[in-house]
Amino acid sequence: KQEVTQIPAALSVPEGENLVLNCSFTDSAIYNLQWFRQDPGKGLTSLLLIQSSQREQTSGRLNASLDKSSGRSTLYIAASQPGDSATYLCAVREETSGSRLTFGEGTQLTVNP
């Protein structure tokens, strides 16, 4: 059974810092990995999708990497801003699970001005 773990559970940083969020998964037979952002009381916003054949994806100040064989992904946020404060979730889609995503429990990020 696939398990997704995110470390740390919570992170508080001053504005302007570069930071890394970690995601690990137990079964490396994944089709892709997706990073989401969830603001309090809101839905999920898709940030980046990495196919299993890719090593990284970039969007603006965000860079996500994937090491499928070791079961790890990182989300790098450059020059963090208070508006980046949210919960960040990673989710994997397994090769044999149809379309379902298996989520980690998230990292709650606070960027202090």
Partner 1 sequence: DTAVSQTPKYLVTQMGNDKSIKCEQNLGHDTMYWYKQDSKKFLKIMFSYNNKELIINETVPNRFSPKSPDKAHLNLHINSLELGDSAVYFCASSRGVWRSSYNEQFFGPGTRLTVL
- The H or E element spanning position 20 is strand 19-25
2 forms part of the interface with partner 1 (CB under 8 A): no
Binding part of the chain for partner 1, among 16-24, 27-35, 60-68, 70-78 by CB under 8 A, reads 27-35
Token pair recorded at residue 107 = 């990292």
The number of residues that bind partner 1 (CB under 8 A) is: 25
Among residues 32, 65, 80, 107, the one that binds partner 1 under rule CB under 8 A: 32
46 forms part of the interface with partner 1 (CB under 8 A): yes
Token pair recorded at residue 36 = 């989401």
CA 3 to mean position of chain CA atoms: 14
CA distance readout (Å), 83 to 39, 42, 110: 10, 14, 9
The site for partner 1 (CB under 8 A) is made up of 31-32, 34, 36, 41-46, 49, 51, 87, 89, 91, 93, 97-103, 105-106
